[in-house]
Structure 1
């Protein structure tokens, strides 16, 4: 078993210290992004609330762990009575598009078919550079959707190409810390949108 999980051979006190250090780092990072991005969160919430009030829908998307976060984000809004869907949720559609057309367009094709002016595209990526996420955001902008992006590190293509009107770049190189901070950000964003729209949360 220890061959598969070498950390099990470590001293329990070392493991505890490591865990506590990671928890502190995570908490400090989440507090930092909430402090530094409060104005940006308020602006994004106002734009999203206006879109929802106008009959808009939210489309969330991402790859891997970010796909799971996109599903969580969509469920968070749906539970509050706001229309939201994760574009990675339909495995048949995702694999059909990936196989028949190309994985780079799995989100853009769905947004071209389902999205329109007044809808919301919410993209999640730890690097900000995933080609299919970038193409999804580009499609959303072309269709005059409200665009929201969550990225890490330096923001990748989301930042370099200005793909999201409302961009939240978590200042970390750790995938784990980025995803934890992103989850905190989109939960707060959902609370703000809920308050703006008068929905129960």
Structure 2
């Protein structure tokens, strides 16, 4: 079993190295898009597919609170994934439009949606991106594999951060690193620190 554990760590490290080779440019572009949205006085809405929703919550919390350096609060909301709170009265079925409905209610032109998925075919995230695009919001998608349906929805002003991996666990791990990169780059852009 210990050899399997070592193999899992090695696989994870190799996935991060591969991501580190292909993602710096898109992470920079995404962070500048987020910073510009905030400079313009707009807000970020975040959502994630079932296995990624914790990352949506985490990213919004990092912006509202702070990452590693104290700074003013930034306007970010993680959309609710609690179907019972958002389903029509009498329905116990989660809606594939659970995020899209919140975007229709809360999103405004100039806002930014950060959507997190594993393979890009998760229906609730696809619907969220479609809703954001109809509101003329900028979209940043974190996804893996081949990008799925999400890849075909994005325009030149949107950003796709596609992890070069197929295994869901490796994609999820890379999404966390990418979220921390984005937060640090946004902080550096909006609140530059003098070198000591």
**TM-score, with structure 1 as normaliser:** 0.84
Give me the whole-angstrom Cα distance separating, in 2, the residues matched to 1:144 and 1:101. Answer: 29
Q: 2:124 aligns with which of 124, 132, 147?
A: 132
Verify: 1:149 aligned to 2:117, yes or no.
no
How many positions carry a matched residue from both structures? 186
Q: Tell me which residue corresponds to 1:19.
A: 5
CA contact (8 A) 2:141 2:161 kept: yes
Query: Higher Cα Rg: structure 1 or 2?
Result: 1
Verify: 1:112 aligned to 2:98, yes or no.
no
Give me the whole-angstrom Cα distance separating, in 2, the residues matched to 1:157 and 1:187. Answer: 25
Q: 1:173 aligns with which of 153, 166, 176?
A: 166
CA contact (8 A) 2:87 2:93 kept: no
Give me the whole-angstrom Cα distance separating, in 2, the residues matched to 1:100 and 1:91. Answer: 8
| Pairs within 5 Å for 1:1-201 | 15-80=1-66, 81-88=73-80, 92-96=84-88, 99=91, 103-162=95-154, 165-198=158-191
Give me the whole-angstrom Cα distance separating, in 2, the residues matched to 1:68 and 1:97. Answer: 26
CA shift, 1:76, in A, is 1.5
CA contact (8 A) 1:127 1:153 kept: yes
Q: Match of 1:147, SS?
A: strand
1 or 2, which has the higher helix percentage? 1
Provide, for residues 80-135 of structure 1, a one-character-per-residue CA deviation record: whole Å limited to 9, x for no partner. 22111111255653344893896121111100110112211011111111111111
Shifted more, 103-112 versus 73-82: the winner is 73-82
Provide, for residues 152-184 of structure 1, a one-character-per-residue CA deviation record: whole Å limited to 9, x for no partner. 111111113337811111122211111001111
CA contact (8 A) 2:142 2:175 kept: yes
Give me the whole-angstrom Cα distance separating, in 2, the residues matched to 1:125 and 1:22. Answer: 22
Residue ranges of structure 2 left out of the alignment (5+ in a row): 67-72
Residues 19/82 of structure 1: CA separation in 2 closer, same or farther (3 Å cut) = same
